[in-house]
Amino acid sequence: MKLGRFGVWTAFRVIGHENGPRAAVLAEELGYGTFWLGGSPQLRDVRHLLEATDRIAIATGIVNLCAYEPSRLAEEYAELAGEFGERLLVGIGVGHREATKEYRHPLTTMREFLDGIDAGAASIPADRRCLAALGPNMLGLASDRSLGPAPYFVPVEHTRSARERIGAGAWLAPELAFHLGPDSERQESRGYAAKYPALENYAGNLRRFGFGNEDLDGGGSDRLLDALVPQGDAAHIALVAHNHLEAGADHVALKPIWAAGIPGEQWSEVADALELRGEG
């Protein structure tokens, strides 16, 4: 599977379901290696993205396991894999305590779900799935039972720590939100970041990396935004993305914020700064 060093991250609620194929084609043309579909999609929703493209990998970021029985997810994968197996990556996550009534201990829940996938007549090969992971135990499970972890809303320090935890063999793909615009105008970035410290798993993870109440409250301190939602020109965003690679990431999923519809301008500017065109 060719996932490339960089991908784009979006969701149907941002670009519109009807615009999905056009968005995936654009990302492919710009040289990104993976198109991440966020927003807890159903796996079958990626079919029209795969049909519209030729080279780019399509990954879910993430399928919420609370919405699936393991056997059904494996069956949906098997249906798609026969046609697009080399370009389909199933990102799986537990979701959030605050949003999921059925929420249980995440590590146990994920382990049982993977056991269910592996026990069925249809399965998802370990190297065709990745796991949403933040803490050390989930990072370890991701490295043992999947291609590797795909952390979300994390600083470069987390990437470095995650690589130390999982070792050299597992694939590591952090998401990186960003905002193209003057560094002095942070209202939009602060509005975007405000929801994450209210979620227990994100807040706990950020505290592990030295962020305190003064950083988490009120939409985030400048220090937190610098680390998690970098703002500036495309060259600066490219620099932060490369910092993740130097810290141990194999792939960085780039997510422009506050872009209604297909964020073609943002994707294009960052692709140029990363010198992606022609990589495919």
Q: What pLDDT is attached to residue 182?
A: 82
CA atoms 64, 259, 173, 129: torsion sign: positive
Q: What pLDDT is attached to residue 194?
A: 92
Q: What pLDDT is attached to residue 95?
A: 78
Enter the tokens of residue 38.
């966020």
- Using 50 as the pLDDT threshold, list the residues of the chain that sit under it: 98, 280
Q: Are 179 and 229 in contact (CB under 8 A)?
A: yes
In 10 A of CB 67, how many CB atoms?
14
Q: What pLDDT is attached to residue 117?
A: 98
Q: What pLDDT is attached to residue 225?
A: 95
Pick the CATH number of 6-183+230-274 from 1.10.420.10, 3.40.50.1980, 3.40.930.10, 3.20.20.30: 3.20.20.30
Give me the residue spans of the domains in the chain. 6-183+230-274
240-267 pLDDT, tens digit each: 999 999 999 999 999 999 778 999 999 9
pTM: 0.95
Q: What pLDDT is attached to residue 98?
A: 44
